[in-house]
Amino acid sequence: MLLSGSHVTKDTRMIHSRRSSLPTAHDVARLAGVSQSAVSRAFTEGASISAKTRARVAAVADQLGYRPNILARSLTKQSSNVIGVVFGHFDNPFFTLALDCFVDVLSHRGLRTLLFTAGTNASADAQVAELLSYRVSAVILMAVNLSSTLAAECARSNIPVVMFNRTTGEEHAAFTVTGDNAAGAAAIASRFLATGRRRIAFMAGYDDSSTSHQREAAFFAALACAGMAEPRRVAGNYTRIGAIEATRGLFASATERPDALFCANDFMAIAAIETMRTEFGLVPGRHCAVAGFDDIPMAAWPSFLLTTYSQPVDLMVARAVAFIDGEAGGARDVMVQGELILRSTA
């Protein structure tokens, strides 16, 4: 009898429900001699239950390996504890850092992250529609856009939408968290002018990006204000290859080469630095000043030592999460201050 392995296995399984899946609150209730309600209450903070029953339930639950089914809980609670994140730029460390930070901060609040990806400069409509059917508690869009119709649909369902590092033309379509694009661009313009740069160029991100637009506008305005002619403009589309090609375009003709270049983010600026060095033999900071935006960790690496304007990721993430928590005090658009970080490229 002791050798009847299949019998033993079956017995063990029968402790749980019939399909060898995870045990339910009913299983625990039966074994603990209480009602299913009691089991539910034992796992609910502050529920009406005596310490004794809670302990008994906990013991049995432990024995069976019971954990409440969050799907079922979400169904009755009408809230899922899940935050949908739509993500686009895995190649840019600024965003992977922010994602890391988001997952971490959210998890400390008992919130989970359901991750979606959007094509680089596409709108996140498809992903957000999908997120709606997961009944997420909130949506975070990291550098992706959203149509106003879908934003309205989220609003109608009381699902807050936070746009991270992006703004939208629409009024109050979503919460927004951004760095100080205007101040940063202006600070970099000042730096270029103060260090005697005169043939200034700008490398844009991609067209649908509000950050690129705002940085460009403020940069151009600051230069115009100082009486400079309009700078040369190339587009790197926030990609490495785009930035490399844009840099080649800028320096192709040996005459009229720029002596200063502001790239709309660090990721492109680093590509520009490398291209200037290896393809044109230029020394960034001497032959041509280079500045970026974000202050990603890589900007401080000795290979680059990039001058840039910082976007404090931790703080931006904290602000975004405050929106979700409804702790933003009525604000809908938050701008986080950064600072000019001078290194050796400008």
Q: Is 6 in the site for a copy of itself (CB under 8 A)?
A: no
What percent of the residues of the chain are helix, what percent strand, and what percent coil, each to the nearest 5?
45, 15, 40
Q: Is 72 in the site for DNA (CB under 7 A)?
A: yes
For DNA, the closer of residues 52 and 156 by Cβ is: 52
Q: How far is the CB of 127 from DNA (least distance, A)?
A: 19
Tokens of 30: 């039966």
Q: Is 241 in the site for a copy of itself (CB under 8 A)?
A: no
CA dihedral (156, 162, 165, 171) positive or negative:
positive
Q: Is 40 in the site for DNA (CB under 7 A)?
A: yes
Q: At what angle do helices 93-108 and 266-280 cross, to 10 degrees?
A: 150
- The Cβ-side half-sphere exposure at 26, using a 13 Å CA radius, reads 3
Q: Is 62 in the site for a copy of itself (CB under 8 A)?
A: no
CA dihedral (185, 202, 308, 106) positive or negative:
positive
Count the Cβ atoms, other than its own, within 10 Å of residue 206: 15
Q: Give the DSSP letter of residue 284.
A: B
Tokens of 131: 């997120």
For residue 37, the partner it binds in DNA, a copy of itself, none, with Cβ less than 5 to 8 A by kind, is DNA
| Apex 105 CA angle, 102 and 108, nearest 5 | 140
Instruction: Please give the Cα distance from 290 to 278 (Å, whole number).
Output: 15
Per-residue interface string for the shown chain with DNA, residues 8-27, x marking contact by CB under 7 A: ---------x---x--xxx-
Q: Is 82 in the site for a copy of itself (CB under 8 A)?
A: yes
Q: How far is the CB of 285 from DNA (least distance, A)?
A: 59
For DNA, the closer of residues 73 and 287 by Cβ is: 73
| 63, 69, 107, 195: residue in contact with DNA (rule CB under 7 A) | 69
Q: Which stretch binds DNA (CB under 7 A): 2-10, 37-45, 104-112, 215-223?
A: 37-45
For residue 36, the partner it binds in DNA, a copy of itself, none, with Cβ less than 5 to 8 A by kind, is DNA
Which residue carries 């041509």 as its tokens?
A: 288
For residue 253, the partner it binds in a copy of itself, DNA, none, with Cβ less than 5 to 8 A by kind, is none
Q: Is 318 in the site for a copy of itself (CB under 8 A)?
A: no
For residue 255, the partner it binds in DNA, a copy of itself, none, with Cβ less than 5 to 8 A by kind, is none
Count the Cβ atoms, other than its own, within 10 Å of residue 112: 14
- Which CA distances in Å does 218 have to 75, 223, 264, 267? 48, 9, 11, 20
For residue 326, the partner it binds in a copy of itself, DNA, none, with Cβ less than 5 to 8 A by kind, is none
Q: How far is the CB of 149 from DNA (least distance, A)?
A: 21
Give me the torsion for CA of 236, 237, 241, 247, rounded to 10°.
0
Tokens of 288: 């041509």
Q: How far is the CB of 134 from DNA (least distance, A)?
A: 11
Instruction: Please give the Cα distance from 268 to 240 (Å, whole number).
Output: 6
Which spans of this chain sit near a copy of itself (rule: CB under 8 A)? 19-22, 65, 67-72, 74-75, 78, 80, 82, 85, 87, 90-91, 93, 96-97, 99-100, 103-104, 107, 112-117, 129-130, 132-135, 153, 156-158, 274-275, 277-278, 297, 301-304
Interface residues with DNA (CB under 7 A)?
A: 17, 21, 24-26, 33-38, 40-41, 43-44, 47-53, 66-69, 72-73, 75-78
